[in-house]
Amino acid sequence: MSGAGIGSMSRRELLMMIGAAAGSSVAYRAMASLDMVPESDYKGPIKLEGDPKGASVLILGAGLAGLVAALELRKAGYKVQVLEYNQRVGGRNWTLRGGDSYTELGGFEQKCEFDPGLYLNPGPWRLPYHHNAILDYCKRLGVVLEPFNQVNYNAYLHSSKAFGGKPQRYRHIQADFNGGVAELLAKSTKQKKMDQLVTKEDREILLESLKGWGALENDYTYRMGLESSGRRGYDHDPNGGTIGKPVPSKPISIDEILKSGLWRYLVHGHIYEFQTTLFQPVGGMDMISKAFAREVGDAVRFNCKVTAIKQDGHKVTATYVDAKTGGAPTQVSADWCLCTIPASVLSQIDLDVSAPMHDAINALPYEASIKVGLQAKRRFWEQDESIYGGVTFTDLPNNMIGYPNTGYFGSGKGVLLGAYTFGPNAYEFTALSPQERVKKAIEFGAQIHPQYKDEIENGIAVGWHRVPWILGCAGAWTEEKRKQHYDNICRIDGRVLLAGEHVSYIPAWQEGAITSSLNAISRLHQRVVNG
């Protein structure tokens, strides 16, 4: 992969590459103008003022959307009851620990064999700093948060087709991509090729900024030396005493970086949702739903599979059966119904709402995703490779390796996220038996961490299309579908309204579930109080 040199690349090709790297932020702006940016305008605890005069609300589903509604509506004076299919609250807000067992569709059962204190968050695992609603609920409910490292400069970027399959440190690719691009731009600027694009005064500023941004030497080249090593790291780190003198490391040439494709992963930490700081609950994501359970768990009836939702001018009636045994249907009625059952399941329920709302629910399939947790006998990524938290990216089907963002330097075992995959590979993973998924995740991961072969001792795999109570990971909205259906999925349809991640513009984030629920109950409350 060497030899070709950047000289062989046209300026246009180069700018296209840079454009591609910048693409996501450009796309982001574009999306922002389309009103698609997942921003939360949560302004503090909801205030439902006015007397609901004993009105009752039946809440279906005890995920975060349902739990938030139960907590706030009850506080506002409503009678609430929640029906939940599972035997626990939380829905996708879920953590697997040693001793848990999980049976997916098809009857495939897994026993989680992690050591005490270790866990996998098979669904949500990180909270952006601007997801104000969920962060506020954590604060109010006493859920302790710790930092989640998204970007780790010492983790890897890996392509099975570049650098002989050898994983590259993020800091090397990051520093050398910036340095290489800065050098090229500086060169073009000095050769007056940018004259039509920048004014004369700005040219000097541009050069200065490229130098600082890319760690260029005084002659505007990016090369082996203390400047570049100050970004990418050294062959021998600066040290004390007689061995103090640093030995710089040799940068990877820009053409090699470009051809490797690894630059694609650099954008990751620049995306709004993945920018520092992110958080995770100490002890597992389900600490959030457990905290809600302390407040409103008594309002939840577990093990209830809702099969029908009927309404007339006066009330809503839900029919449910025992989730495990089926048996005789039971009915429960209320003045209103807030339904947070995922659209994938709701589309199969006998539901009394208008045709437009039906169409909206039926139009929303769910994305594929899988996660695999792997327990290692020791924290080899820390001990051998100085990787503390964060994510390694790979073009192999496991897509990511997530290192635990907690328990650093522990001398015991650790649990890695061994695969986190979407798209076709996620369907393919899901089509395997759970054991086979774990095996594959180990096989792929071992190409990055050879220690896997000796150190990984057990694992657990969740393919979201086999999760019995959701059939996928998150609602697959498209712009087209939003245009056609979004308003209709948000409406108050007689005495029924919907909430959940799928009724938000923050798909696949808990913030979407919570803000959709707050929005729904505000509108419902207005209706109830104002008649």
Ligand X SMILES: Cc1cc2nc3c(=O)[nH]c(=O)nc-3n(C[C@H](O)[C@H](O)[C@H](O)COP(=O)(O)OP(=O)(O)OC[C@H]3O[C@@H](n4cnc5c(N)ncnc54)[C@H](O)[C@@H]3O)c2cc1C
Nearest approach in angstroms of CB 421 to ligand X is: 10
Residue 421 within binding range of other proteins, rule CB under 8 A: yes
β partners of residue 101: 111
Nearest approach in angstroms of CB 502 to other proteins is: 10
Interacting residues of 80 by C-beta distance below 8 A, sequence separation 6+: 56, 57, 58, 59, 69, 70, 73, 74, 296, 299
Residue with tokens 């204190």: 117
x/- letters, 47..86, toward ligand X (CB under 6 A): -------------xxxxxxx----------------xxxx
Name the residue nearer to other proteins (CB basis): 88 or 223.
88
Stretch that binds ligand X, among 3-11, 259-267, 443-451, 504-512 (CB under 6 A): 504-512
Whole-angstrom Cα distance, residue 527 to residue 521? 10
Residue 277 within binding range of other proteins, rule CB under 8 A: no
> Strands (DSSP E) along 117-200, which ranges?
119-120, 127-128, 145-148, 156-158, 168-169
Which of the choices other proteins, ligand X, none does residue 367 contact, using the CB cut-off of 5 to 8 A by kind?
other proteins
Name the residue nearer to ligand X (CB basis): 153 or 469.
469
Q: Binding residue for other proteins (CB under 8 A) from 48, 120, 473, 520?
A: 473
Other beta carbons within 10 angstroms of residue 494's beta carbon come to 16
Residue 16 within binding range of other proteins, rule CB under 8 A: yes
Whole-angstrom Cα distance, residue 155 to residue 72? 42
Candidates 244, 179, 170, 181; CA nearest to 403 is 170
> What do you get for the CA distance between the two ends of the chain, in Å?
71
Q: Binding residue for other proteins (CB under 8 A) from 345, 357, 503, 513?
A: 345
Stretch that binds other proteins, among 182-190, 262-270, 311-319, 407-415 (CB under 8 A): 262-270
Name the residue nearer to other proteins (CB basis): 21 or 332.
21
Residue 493 within binding range of ligand X, rule CB under 6 A: no
Nearest approach in angstroms of CB 234 to other proteins is: 29
In the region spanning residues 106 to 165, those forming contacts with ligand X, defined by CB under 6 A, are 123-127
Whole-angstrom Cα distance, residue 423 to residue 428? 9
Task: Give the rounded distance of the alpha carbon of 213 from its chain centre.
Answer: 29
Name the residue nearer to ligand X (CB basis): 58 or 185.
58
Nearest approach in angstroms of CB 395 to other proteins is: 4
DSSP per position, 493-514: BTTEEE-SGGGSSSTTSHHHHH
Query: Mapping DSSP to helix (H, G, I), strand (E, B) and coil, where does residue 23 land?
Result: helix
x/- letters, 318..357, toward ligand X (CB under 6 A): ----------------------xxx--x------------
Name the residue nearer to other proteins (CB basis): 136 or 428.
428
Q: Helix (H) and strand (E) counts for the chain?
A: 17, 25
Amino acid at residue number 133: A
Residue 369 within binding range of ligand X, rule CB under 6 A: yes
Q: What is the dihedral of CA 520, 32, 131, 371, to 10 degrees?
A: 100
Residue 435 within binding range of other proteins, rule CB under 8 A: no
Stretch that binds ligand X, among 33-41, 182-190, 257-265, 508-516 (CB under 6 A): 508-516
Cβ pair 131, 278 in contact under 8 A: no
Other beta carbons within 10 angstroms of residue 237's beta carbon come to 12
Which of the choices other proteins, ligand X, none does residue 500 contact, using the CB cut-off of 5 to 8 A by kind?
ligand X
Residue with tokens 């009857």: 107
β partners of residue 376: 414, 456
Residue with tokens 């657990």: 460
x/- letters, 501..520, toward other proteins (CB under 8 A): -----xxxx-----------
Name the residue nearer to ligand X (CB basis): 168 or 289.
289
Nearest approach in angstroms of CB 289 to ligand X is: 8
Residue with tokens 């090593």: 229
Phi, psi of 448 (to 5 degrees): -105, -45
Name the residue nearer to ligand X (CB basis): 262 or 506.
506
Q: Binding residue for other proteins (CB under 8 A) from 347, 377, 492, 522?
A: 347
Candidates 408, 390, 398, 483; CA nearest to 438 is 398
In the region spanning residues 182 to 241, those forming contacts with ligand X, defined by CB under 6 A, are none
Amino acid at residue number 366: Y
Cβ pair 111, 375 in contact under 8 A: no
In the region spanning residues 292 to 321, those forming contacts with ligand X, defined by CB under 6 A, are 304-306
Q: Binding residue for other proteins (CB under 8 A) from 112, 471, 503, 520?
A: 471
Which of the choices ligand X, other proteins, none does residue 92 contact, using the CB cut-off of 5 to 8 A by kind?
ligand X
Q: Binding residue for other proteins (CB under 8 A) from 1, 6, 31, 308?
A: 31
Query: Mapping DSSP to helix (H, G, I), strand (E, B) and coil, where does residue 18 land?
Result: helix
Cβ pair 224, 163 in contact under 8 A: no
Stretch that binds ligand X, among 387-395, 434-442, 451-459, 510-518 (CB under 6 A): 510-518
Q: Binding residue for ligand X (CB under 6 A) from 510, 515, 520, 524?
A: 510
Whole-angstrom Cα distance, residue 146 to residue 144? 7
x/- letters, 110..149, toward other proteins (CB under 8 A): --------------x-x-----------------------
Binding site for ligand X (CB under 6 A): 60-66, 83-86, 91-93, 123-127, 304-306, 340-342, 345, 369, 371, 464, 469-470, 473-474, 500-501, 508-513
